[in-house]
Amino acid sequence: MRTTLTIDDDVFAHARAHAQRERISIGEALSRLARQGIQASQMAPPPAAKPKSRYALLPARAEVITSEHVRRLMEHEGI
């Protein structure tokens, strides 16, 4: 598809360098780079939610943490 775009100079320079390295057109370089960005954003984990307090929550676990767990950990850590 043919279209007219306005892109930033640094993006154009990067695309042109990529096109020269790969011996492809700038349009093909921009398409490849855009696809890479799309794929990376789809694979990236969603941003972590901002904590409601200064204490971070740990992920849910299948076990209940008891006082005995805490005591054993404290003994192991020498606290």
Give the residues of the chain that fall short of pLDDT 70: 44, 48-49, 51
Please state, in angstroms and as integers, the Cα–Cα distance from residue 31 to each residue in 15, 19, 27, 28, 75, following that order.
Answer: 9, 11, 6, 5, 58
Query: How far is 75 from 57, CA to CA, in rounded Å?
Result: 23
Query: How far is 36 from 8, CA to CA, in rounded Å?
Result: 18
Identify the pLDDT of residue 28: 95
Identify the pLDDT of residue 51: 67
Identify the pLDDT of residue 33: 95
Query: How far is 19 from 17, CA to CA, in rounded Å?
Result: 5
Query: What's the pTM value of the predicted model, to 2 decimals?
Result: 0.53
